[in-house]
Amino acid sequence: MLSRVVRIFETFGPDATALRVSDIARRTGLHVATASRLVDELVSYGWLQRDADRRIRIGVRIWELASRASPTLSLREAAMPFMEDLHAVVGQHTQLGVLEGREVLFVERLSAPGAVVNLTRIAGRLPLHASSSGLVLLAHAPAEFQDEMLASPLTAFTASTVADPARLRSLLADIRRNGFAYCEGFFDNEATGIAVPLRGPGGEVVAALSVIVPIDGDAHPQIPALRAAARGISRAMGAENSSH
Amino acid sequence: MLSRVVRIFETFGPDATALRVSDIARRTGLHVATASRLVDELVSYGWLQRDADRRIRIGVRIWELASRASPTLSLREAAMPFMEDLHAVVGQHTQLGVLEGREVLFVERLSAPGAVVNLTRIAGRLPLHASSSGLVLLAHAPAEFQDEMLASPLTAFTASTVADPARLRSLLADIRRNGFAYCEGFFDNEATGIAVPLRGPGGEVVAALSVIVPIDGDAHPQIPALRAAARGISRAMGAENSSH
């Protein structure tokens, strides 16, 4: 039964924020009567909510339950003051990503109107090998996980995406040595992503902090501000040694 | 069965972010074997996660599912650029709250180190009658809901809390007429809260934007900046007429 509830929640997304029960039934493969009964029960707990026009949305209550004790909330609260300062100085997209499954999941983003195109969004994902945040997380992931990722098909999103396993392995070593990932047009031809690792209390890499800037021009001068912010956030999370 | 899953999630909170299965069983009243089986199943879906020390936490996956299609995410994304500007100008706590049940639920907060004490937190709640955000939301709620709230016991958190139904009804009328709530020490003796309504596409009040400032000194000069930000956010959400 729980698997059906999970399937119902999986049908919602950024492009499907309000669904009719018949849509939910079709997308989950559940009978309309089953979907309708489960939706009613979820609405009664506030986990889903019903619009005036009877369309179903994700409930505010489940967001509250998932957020108030979430490990990402303490990460976000430690990071936010530093992200705001960085955002003010760099004037471009600033984001916070964690490793989730085989992708990077963005848990926070500060954007400026008129900043370069940015394909990420809060609670959105990007592939590990094609984003600066993902590469930082992959560079610090266990060797077995790296081997598995390098052995799987790697999509080239642009001519600059590093999709060759040997070159990618060497890039990961560079990222660990340099302490940052600098990715010109890896995912989008117009954008450069720069990311640095954030460390938890045990010194382990728990997240990546990144900025997205226009590809025209050298963004290396942004790196010291990004690294300084990462040290501050890592220290706020209790990392004893926040150097890379 | 779903009610048991809901009870498991309800046991987690800001002060209980990591629990043992035995704690979950005790807090939910479930048998340890039942709790253990449900926790295992929820871990398999990523809705809960198990630490290295076998303690259970809220899973990142349920946060992602709850966030990516959440009605509060679009509100938050519309509000955030304006909130950042307001936060930079006012230099104090800036927050975004929605009506959830009989309380105000804060879906976003920007804080400054060294700003006045603030008892709210993201995904935290405050009573409607004792917070500026709550009063704005209550002032614009349906009359039946207001009657119900005014008829229920109203806690006085400080000597300034308006806990008398007749005075509260008159205060709500003032808030509607003035377009803002100005609350000196209603919830905490050291803080003044100021809140204004945010409107959705149909002109209905969907949220409250507030700042929390130290009680010493007149904070009325902050009101124009707060109202200007509220107009910008309401327009970004598609409100045709964002005046109050």
**What spatial distance separates the first Cα and last Cα of chain B, rounded to whole Å?**
46
Q: Which of B132, B142, B204 is nearest to B171 (CA)?
A: B132
Listed in sequence order, the DSSP H helices in chain A are 2-10, 21-28, 32-44, 60-68, 71-90, 132-139, 143-151, 165-178, 223-236
Q: What's the mean pLDDT when you consider all of chain B?
A: 90
**Mean pLDDT, residues B226-244:** 79
Q: Which residue has the tokens 């990007």?
A: A126
Instruction: Count the helices and strands in chain B (H runs, E runs).
Output: 9, 8
CA distance A8 to A35: 8
In sequence order, the β-bridge partners of residue B104 are: B99, B126
pLDDT tens by residue, B104-121: 999 988 876 655 666 667
CB spacing of A80 vs B13 below 8 angstroms = no
Mutation test of the interface with chain B: which of A5, A60, A108, A110, choosing the one with the most B Cβ atoms within 10 A? A60
- A47 to chain B: which residues are within 8 Å by CB? 6
Please report the pLDDT score of residue B153 as a whole number.
94
Please report the pLDDT score of residue A117 as a whole number.
62
Q: Which of A135, A7, A76 is nearest to B76 (CA)?
A: A76
pLDDT tens by residue, B141-154: 999 999 999 999 99
- A13 to chain B: which residues are within 8 Å by CB? 68-69
CB spacing of B12 vs A68 below 8 angstroms = yes
In sequence order, the β-bridge partners of residue A199 are: A205
Question: Is residue B242 a contact partner of residue B207, using CB atoms and an 8 Å limit?
Answer: no
**Averaged pLDDT, groups of 10, chain A, 244 residues long:** 92 91 96 96 94 90 88 85 86 90 91 64 89 98 96 95 96 97 93 94 93 89 94 85 46
Please report the pLDDT score of residue A118 as a whole number.
60
pLDDT tens by residue, B9-30: 999 988 898 999 999 999 999 9
Q: Touching check for B41 and chain A: CB below 8 Å? A: yes
Please report the pLDDT score of residue A150 as a whole number.
96
Please report the pLDDT score of residue A243 as a whole number.
46
Question: Is residue A234 a contact partner of residue A199, using CB atoms and an 8 Å limit?
Answer: yes
- B121 to chain A: which residues are within 8 Å by CB? 68
| Distance (Å) of CA A204 to CA A137, A142, A173, A195, B23 | 11, 11, 17, 16, 28
Q: Touching check for B43 and chain A: CB below 8 Å? A: no
ipTM higher than threshold 0.95: no
Question: Is residue B14 a contact partner of residue A69, using CB atoms and an 8 Å limit?
Answer: yes
CB spacing of B45 vs A3 below 8 angstroms = yes
Question: Is residue A22 a contact partner of residue A33, using CB atoms and an 8 Å limit?
Answer: no
Q: Which residue has the tokens 């959440």?
A: B70
**What spatial distance separates the first Cα and last Cα of chain A, rounded to whole Å?**
46
DSSP B7-22: HHHHT-BTTBSSB-HH
CB spacing of A68 vs B110 below 8 angstroms = no
Residue B242 has pLDDT above 70, yes or no: no
Can you point out the beta strands (E) in B85-147?
A: 93-100, 103-110, 125-127
- Per DSSP, the three-state class of B93 is strand
Please report the pLDDT score of residue A217 as a whole number.
82
Q: Touching check for B137 and chain A: CB below 8 Å? A: no
Tokens of A160: 């600059």
Q: Touching check for B225 and chain A: CB below 8 Å? A: no
Higher pLDDT, B90 or B29: B29
Geometric angle at alpha carbon B86, from A133 and B207, rounded to 5°: 90
Please report the pLDDT score of residue A244 as a whole number.
43
Burial (CB count <10 Å: 0-12, 13-18, 19+), residue B155:
exposed
